[in-house]
């Protein structure tokens, strides 16, 4: 018969807990980055479908609808691609940023938490991992770091239409 003493068992549980959290965090990033099936919507369409413009503004400059929480300008964001993936997928607990990954918290762990009910996080869009990835690609390629909005940059939000009403001012 093999028995562990109490302090050794507690130490093993702590180590296992840390390993499980690391695996869960890695699993989230891997799940988000995995290519999915055919992707029908591009990043700009997902931006609209997800209602991101309500808080972050039509062109992601942080000038959204005043009826919604004020989201920061994504143009001046310093988040890395991985941080964007996690934020879009899992939201930001106790803020107005919703989670957008279908199954976040209940089927896919977020922020190292065990599977269960989301902790004070609003539900947003029901995006697949491939859609989250496409939205982040769009933001990283067309928004983040682009502080001066041109007519062409505006047009990426409107199917390339430089004559979209919102873009006419640029």
DSSP character string of 45-107: HHHHHTTTHHHH-TTSSS---TTSPPPPPSTT----HHHHHHHHHH--TTSS--EEETTBTTT
pLDDT at 22: 36
Per-residue pLDDT tens, the chain, 170 aa: give them.
223 233 433 343 333 333 333 333 344 333 334 344 444 799 999 999 999 999 999 999 999 888 888 899 999 999 999 999 999 999 999 899 999 999 999 999 999 999 999 888 899 999 999 999 999 999 999 999 999 999 999 999 999 999 999 999 99
pLDDT at 40: 76
pLDDT at 5: 35
| Reported pTM | 0.75
């Amino acid at each position: 018969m093999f028995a562990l003493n109490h302090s050794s068992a507690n130490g093993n549980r702590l180590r296992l807990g840390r390993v499980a959290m690391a695996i869960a965090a890695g699993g989230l990033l891997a799940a988000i980055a995995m290519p999915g099936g055919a992707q029908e919507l591009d990043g700009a369409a997902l931006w609209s479908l997800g209602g991101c413009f309500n808080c972050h503004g039509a062109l992601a400059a942080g000038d959204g609808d005043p009826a919604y929480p004020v989201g920061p300008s994504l143009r001046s964001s310093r988040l890395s691609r991985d941080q964007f993936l996690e934020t879009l997928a899992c939201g930001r607990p106790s803020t107005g940023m919703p989670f957008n990954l279908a199954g976040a918290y209940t089927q896919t762990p977020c922020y190292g938490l065990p599977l269960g009910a989301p902790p004070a996080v609003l539900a947003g869009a029901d995006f697949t991992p491939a859609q989250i990835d496409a939205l982040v690609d769009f933001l990283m390629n067309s928004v983040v770091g682009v502080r001066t909005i041109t007519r062409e940059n505006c047009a990426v939000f409107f199917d390339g239409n430089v004559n979209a009403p919102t873009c006419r001012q640029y």
